[in-house]
Structure 1
Amino acid sequence: MLEILKIKEEMLEKVASLYNKVWSVRGTSFLERLQKHMNYEGFTGFVIVSEDGDVIGYSYGYTSLPEQYYHGLLSNEFNSEDYQKWLTDCFEFVELAVHPGYRKQGHANQLITKLLDGVGHKTAILTTQQNNFSARKLYESLHWVLYKETFYPGDKSNPFVIMVKKLR
């Protein structure tokens, strides 16, 4: 039986290992970023753990604040009225991954729903690769709305989209 648990310090290496597997990445940069993000205001995250104790999925995010790097990138994409509407009381949905062997079973939906349940913010924001159509379809099915079709948080050859959601 699978179990959804809050992310704890002792799980971080397993979460990072899953990230590296899903995104075909090597190294420790994600682990370091996750450890840093755990100290951000409003951090919350969940994992789905198999009967064997393996992390087969995770999601996490935190309060989006002006002093944060990614918040700064996002804020450049909003006019002042939209900034007030979407980014002033906002939960930033940062990461989601499910092991390839466990996809198409509703786990991503469960992780997103659990993550956003009770975060206490007015809105939520996420970015995903522009060509990640399965993720975009999932988010749209959960009532996320496309805010911007083309957003470059880094490499100009890898466009992202910005999606937003009202939470209350």
Structure 2
Amino acid sequence: MDLVIGPLDLSAHVDEALAVQAIAFGLGPDEVAVRRQIVVRHMQYPGARALGATADGLLVGFVYGMPNSRTHWWSTVVEPYLRAEGHAGWLDDSFVITELHVHPHHQNRGVGRRLITTITDGAAEPRSILSAIDTDSPARGLYHSLGYADLARQVHFPSAPKPYAVMGAPLPLRRAGSGRR
């Protein structure tokens, strides 16, 4: 497999990306339709950028994020949880990882690690934040291995059936097999 990580015009490839997310995250057509509108809107925010992972010309993973703003919907939901834990300052001067998904056939091969480290290496902000389903999952294991720590747990998003954890890490992210940050 010849894997290539590079810039992704997510607005132009939103359907391909959401197809990966639907398979990786178990989304139905109605959820995909809602997320499509959100992704297109997010890509218009200042500093928003995306990377894709392609194998043999097919998109097999993607990540996108942006400098965080307390005015973004996500920030308004997580702020009370972070404030309660003494971590509300993480919402300032952070690069938020909005979505990171890898097709199941390409998981556990370092694709997600390469996507998230590459996108955060290009961030001007000194730290990164994200949210992930609050369970002992391979995704949370990856984030912990990169230096992300739990800032708030049992965060409830409207219409999300499962609680999330908000995690943060200083940049650059930790690299596997080294103490380098």
State the TM-score, normalized to the length of structure 2. Answer: 0.84
Runs of 4 or more consecutive aligned structure 1 residues displaced over 4 Å after TM superposition? none
Amino acid at match of 2:7: K
Inter-partner Cα distance in structure 2 for 1:38 and 1:97: 16
Q: Quick one: which of 47, 61, 75 aligns to 1:71?
A: 75
Q: Is the 8 A contact 2:95 2:129 kept in 1?
A: yes
Q: Which residue of 1 aligns with 2:96?
A: 92
Residue equivalent to 2:48: 43
- Structure 1 residue aligned with 2:38, among 28, 33, 44? 33
> What is the rounded CA distance, in whole Å, between the counterparts of 2:24 and 2:137 in structure 1?
16
Deviations 1:51-92 (A, max 9, x none): 1x21100111111112211111121123396323x1110111
1:42 shift after superposition: 1.6
Instruction: Pick the aligned partner of 2:59 from 55, 61, 66.
Output: 55
Going from structure 1 to structure 2, the CA distance change for 1:65 and 1:24 (only over 3 Å counts) comes to same
Look up the equivalent residue of 1:122 and give its one-letter code.
Answer: P
Aligned counterparts of 2:81 and 2:137: Cα–Cα separation in 1: 22
Please list the CA deviations of residues 124-150 of structure 1 after superposition, one character each: whole Å capped at 9, or x if unmatched: 111111125211111000010111121
Q: In the superposition, relative to structure 1, how do residues 155 and 55 fare at CA in structure 2: closer, same or farther (>3 Å)?
A: same
Stretches of structure 1 that go unaligned for 5 or more consecutive residues are: none
CA-CA distance at 1:10 after TM superposition: 2.5
Aligned equivalent of 1:14: 16
Q: CA RMSD in A?
A: 1.8
Identity %: 22
Is the contact between residue 128 and residue 160 of structure 1 (CA under 8 Å) also seen in structure 2?
yes
TM-score, normalization by structure 1? 0.90
CA distance in 2, matches of 1:116, 1:4: 13
* Alpha-carbon distance change, 118 to 156 in structure 1, aligned in 2, over 3 angstroms: closer
Aligned residues: 166
